[in-house]
């Protein structure tokens, strides 16, 4: 067995060598090549506007916008066009806390409850032990996106006080500090720690203590704080198969700013990237220091391990999450990166500090494959990887995923339509009608309006739609806003007499954004 394993391993190694893309000496990816690449990506992935910046050796060697900022206005995108950077805001929150550590106003291992006494989680022991670092490292034990329906979609009425209070009702899915599950709500609490310790709002801190010193003149910590909106993108998404402008107010309320509220341009973000790659130093001669090297080291230390399912041609062996940054090895180099995603907007920031290389890609459509194709094509050039067509690779992968998701949803709706056409009598819905409540999300009402069964959320008005019988005790809700790719199953539970007593929900499409955390809802009938 042992010898067979050695031989097999040798054969696999030979195969891997033969399949590995050719390596050539690293070379700069020219601005002309970036132009051609980005134009191809916009066409391939149906993205109206993209902005790209490349920083190399403390110089901005490329900074440009492409396409239009909005299909409505047709205004051109340029290097100063403002995008919501979404979860790339998290690195700013981590840096803000690091600045307070430098000032000895807090320590990374301080308990959160010492700064937010009303903070409670489901497990009292976890509540007592939860530290500042735990807020930033996605290891709380809560599931992916737990509680995000309090901040997403926008226009709901959950306040910061509601979020802090309701977190005690969110049940963990893993043991504390054992597993990576991305979490937005903890970053909201981290922003509140910044506010309570510094004596100024998170938004003021980010703008006055970080953006102003770095010279990020057009950026703001939230959409509502922008001083001018003449050059700003509109979010876009496919709606019934056609890409169009969608409602900006759909996205995070301002209570979620510390998790994803910043607006910036690739020009301004280049200054942020250079400061990070210089370990906190900035200015013409790097004579100024925003954060100490000790704090910077902490930001780029992996605290929570992340799975590596496929090493790919980058030969990635390890992946982890630091304090607002994702960390991994690519071809023997450290990669520090993060992505951001809101409805109709996705962004990516990638740093290879040992190469003094930073790549920033902002888009105004929600195709993550688009920014990956651009970033990795540029990255390949500097890593000496040739023979890879990233646009083709990511386009085929996206088309495959979309086709798979479409097949699932299409079969369900086809089944529903056939039942409606064949049924002599409609399923009895009246027993299921009424008011249902969840401990953290509040009330929803199922009622008949105009001959149709309607689902209406009391606190999140975007979550309203028509309900259709599917099978057994299961119905499907089709949201009125079709930019929400989030139609869901409603699974009713019955008591011993067959009366509905509760309901759970589950997203239908595997492509549904994780912030629609329907799986965390446990409705009880009032």
How is 290-311 classified by DSSP, letter by letter? SS-HHHHHHHTS--EE---S--
H/E stretch holding 507 reads strand 500-507
Smallest Cα–Cα separation from 83: which of 250, 255, 211, 268?
A: 268
Instruction: Give the long-range contacts of residues 433-436, CB within 8 A, separation 24 or more.
Output: 434/500, 434/525, 434/526, 435/525, 435/526, 436/502, 436/503, 436/523, 436/524, 436/525, 436/526
- d(C-alpha 141, C-alpha 138), whole Å: 8
pLDDT reported for residue 13: 32
Question: 426-525: which CATH architecture?
Answer: Beta Barrel (2.40)
Domain 24-401 -> CATH class: alpha beta
> 153 preceded by cis ω (within 30°)?
yes
* pLDDT average per 10 residues of sequence, the chain (526 residues): 34 35 63 97 98 97 98 97 97 98 98 98 98 98 97 91 98 97 98 98 98 97 91 94 87 88 98 98 95 98 94 93 98 97 96 98 96 97 95 95 93 88 71 96 95 94 94 94 93 93 97 96 96
- What's the sign of the alpha-carbon dihedral 321, 202, 132, 514? negative
Smallest Cα–Cα separation from 364: which of 513, 232, 255, 268?
A: 232
pLDDT reported for residue 26: 62
pLDDT reported for residue 154: 81
DSSP letter assigned to residue 110: S
pLDDT reported for residue 125: 98
Task: Say which residues have a Cβ less than 8 Å from residue 481's Cβ, sequence separation at least 6.
Answer: 153, 247, 250, 462
The token duo for 12 is: 């696999």
pLDDT reported for residue 298: 98
pLDDT reported for residue 3: 32
All structural domains of the chain with their residue ranges: 24-401, 426-525
């Amino acid at each position: 067995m042992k010898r067979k394993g050695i031989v097999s391993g040798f054969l696999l190694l030979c195969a891997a060598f033969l399949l590995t893309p050719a390596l050539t000496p690293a070379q700069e990816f020219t601005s002309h090549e970036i132009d051609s690449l980005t134009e191809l990506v916009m066409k391939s992935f149906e993205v109206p506007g993209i902005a790209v910046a490349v920083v190399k050796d403390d110089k901005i060697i490329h900074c440009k916008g492409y396409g239009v900022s909005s299909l409505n206005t047709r205004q051109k995108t340029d290097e100063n066009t403002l995008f919501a950077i979404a979860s790339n805001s998290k690195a700013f929150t981590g840096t803000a806390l690091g600045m307070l550590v430098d000032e000895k106003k807090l320590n990374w291992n301080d308990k959160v409850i010492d700064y937010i006494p009303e903070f409670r989680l489901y497990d009292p022991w976890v509540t007592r032990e939860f530290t500042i670092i735990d807020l930033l490292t996605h290891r709380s034990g809560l599931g992916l996106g737990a509680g995000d329906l309090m901040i997403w979609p926008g226009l709901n009425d959950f306040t910061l006080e509601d979020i802090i209070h309701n977190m005690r009702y969110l049940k963990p899915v893993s043991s504390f500090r054992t597993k990576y599950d991305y979490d937005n709500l903890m970053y909201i609490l981290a922003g509140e720690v910044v506010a309570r310790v510094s004596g100024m709002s998170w938004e003021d801190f980010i703008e006055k203590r970080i953006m102003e010193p770095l010279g990020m003149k057009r950026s703001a910590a939230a959409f509502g704080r922008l001083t001018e909106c003449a050059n700003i993108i509109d979010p876009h998404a496919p709606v019934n198969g056609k890409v169009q402008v969608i409602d900006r107010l759909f996205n995070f309320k301002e209570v979620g700013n510390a998790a994803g509220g910043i607006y910036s341009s690739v020009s301004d973000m280049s200054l942020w990237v250079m400061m990070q790659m210089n370990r906190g130093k900035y200015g013409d001669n790097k004579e100024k220091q925003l954060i100490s090297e000790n704090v910077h080291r902490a930001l780029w230390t992996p605290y929570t391990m992340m799975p590596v399912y496929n090493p790919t041609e980058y030969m990635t062996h390890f992946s982890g999450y630091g304090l607002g940054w994702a960390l991994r090895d690519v071809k023997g180099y450290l990669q520090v990166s993060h992505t951001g995603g809101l409805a109709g907007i996705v962004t990516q920031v990638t740093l290879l500090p040992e190469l003094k290389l930073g790549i920033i890609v902002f888009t105004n459509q929600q195709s993550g494959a688009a920014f990956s194709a651009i970033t990795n094509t540029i990255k390949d050039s500097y890593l000496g990887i040739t023979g890879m067509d990233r646009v083709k690779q990511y386009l085929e992968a996206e088309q495959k995923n979309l086709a798979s998701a479409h097949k699932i949803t299409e079969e369900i709706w086809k089944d529903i339509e056939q039942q409606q056409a064949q049924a002599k009598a409609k399923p009895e819905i009246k027993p299921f009608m009424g008011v249902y409540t969840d401990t953290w999300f509040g009330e929803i009402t199922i009622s008949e309006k105009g001959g149709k069964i309607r689902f209406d959320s009391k606190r999140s008005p975007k979550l309203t739609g028509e309900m259709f019988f599917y099978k057994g005790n299961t119905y499907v809700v089709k949201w009125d806003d079709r930019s929400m790719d989030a139609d869901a199953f409603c699974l009713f539970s019955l008591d011993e007499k067959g009366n509905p007593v509760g309901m759970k929900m589950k997203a239908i499409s595997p492509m549904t954004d994780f912030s629609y955390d329907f799986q965390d809802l446990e409705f009880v009938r009032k």
